[in-house]
Amino acid sequence: MTGPGKANGRSGPRAVAGLAAAALVPPAAVAAAHIVPAATWLPRFRAVCFPRLAGIGRAGHVALTFDDGPDPACTPHFLDALDRLAVRATFFVLGESVARYPELSRHITERGHELAVHGWTHSRPWLPALGRDSRETARAAQVVHDTTGLRPQWYRPPYGILTSGRWAAARRAGLRPVLWTAWGKDWTAEATPASVRATVGADLRGGGTILLHDSDRASSPGCWRAALGALPGLVAACRDAGWEVGPLSEHGVGEERTRRPAGRA
């Protein structure tokens, strides 16, 4: 048992002093420590300063990733399109959706794709919640493993906001945080296949990671069709540039010789 008189093997006065010091930490300092790491949300800052987190991998490869599924109304359309294109991808899934749709989740892996963790729900992380982040991230990783028999490797927080608590929760669950280098802004009502392709193409380089969405759960209703329609053109552009397209597991994230993206779509 641990109490104010004895904590982590320390004697009473020292433990009490430690507790008192912790109590004096200003709430603003706690909030800053929680949210400041989320500056990695800025794509160019992330790519230059944190290439592994940005998902920069082999120069001749582009990682294709999807967030927010699985969703029986949308995800099967992406699986069919990817089959036609002979491309495999990484799906960052929500734990509660995996629990709700286990057959679809297994089907994704049976068709050669990999599942990664996007959290348990698509919650916003503005306030510190270290215990909740840890429990929910571990729970999501476990449900993916229990459902598919495969242990996920990757973690991407909802909205791409990697707070200190969510970073620690991912590492505790044995997951590597990965964000992206190019996205399609495919979550808006105004998105079209052409706009998605143009937005991705503006930042796409060999060695980059693309973010799209295979569900409109946290987006404008029906917007997933824009991402789906953009897929053939995006894959063709990558191949024309001489880049392979595939999942993060084949991307070589963090390999020293491949950190610098090359070329442009």
Please tell me the distance from the alpha carbon of residue 203 to that of residue 198, in angstroms, as a whole number. Answer: 9
Tell me, yes or no, if 113 is annotated catalytic.
no
Tell me, yes or no, if 146 is annotated catalytic.
no
234: CB partners within 8 A, 6+ apart: 196, 197, 200, 201, 210, 265
Q: Which of 34, 67, 68, 118 is catalytic?
A: 67
CA atoms within 13 A on the CB side of 79: 21
Please tell me the distance from the alpha carbon of residue 25 to that of residue 80, in angstroms, as a whole number. Answer: 53
Distances (CA, A) of 167 to 5, 102, 133, 174: 32, 26, 9, 11
**Exposed, middle or buried, 180 (CB in 10 Å: 0-12/13-18/19+)?**
buried
Q: Which of 34, 61, 113, 213 is catalytic?
A: 213
Q: Which residues pair with 262 in a beta bridge?
A: 206
Please tell me the distance from the alpha carbon of residue 223 to that of residue 219, in angstroms, as a whole number. Answer: 7
Catalytic residues: 67, 213
